Amino acid sequence: MKPSFKERVEDARKFIPYNGDIKKDTLKLVKTCVNIMGIDGSPELVRRDKVPSYDEMPTDKDRGMTSLIFIEFAKNGFVAVVGAGKDIDFTYKSKTGKILKALGIKWDEESLIILTIKGLEAVAVSKVNKENIFKSRNAVEHYIGEYLLSNGIPILNMYSHKNFTKAGWDKISGLQNLE
């Protein structure tokens, strides 16, 4: 079970701002992560006005869902959220936006990282296993978020990408050490 909103805000308060170029270093780590997973996709840092329309993005083989992973940033040296699908927004009405508002932090609306992936399948979280783990958008999103956290990248909404319990993830992934 994911924590309450209040618990999410308190957990976000514990992070200290990243000491470095958060966008450049996050992009480098995501590229490494994509190579580890062996998926067909190339992450890129794009200006907000250059994000392709959802209609132009690859979709999964089964249900036509957009095969997009994105990383949005906050103004002060944090990743705001690792997300998937058609959820890119910079409002304060989303769960991440509400966390930012509670912390007094603004969105960095200038640019974000996007990763469009070819060849994903609509694999329900309950059906993901070692053989299809990186064909599932939910698993790819989860792995990238956990990889960033394990490499010192602070994610203010650190629960958004968590589509599996720790025990469930360890069981299917065999990848307990993400470094």
- Mind listing the pLDDT tens digit for each residue in 134-152? 888 888 888 899 899 989 9
Query: Could you tell me if residue 178 is inside a domain?
Result: no
> What amino acid occupies position 121?
E
In angstroms, the CA 54 to CA 60 distance is 13
Domain carrying residue 61: 5-169
Q: Three-state SS for 146?
A: helix
pTM for the full model?
A: 0.86
* Residue 163 belongs to some domain of the structure: yes
Residue 69 forms part of a structural domain: yes
d(CA 143, CA 50): 26
176 within a domain of the structure (yes/no): no
The confidence band for 175, taking pLDDT boundaries of 50, 70 and 90, is low
Q: Which residues of 11-38 are buried (b: 16+ CB within 10 A; e: fewer)?
A: ebeebeebeeebbebbbebbbebbeebe
In the chain, the number of structural domains is 1
Residue 151 lies in a domain: yes
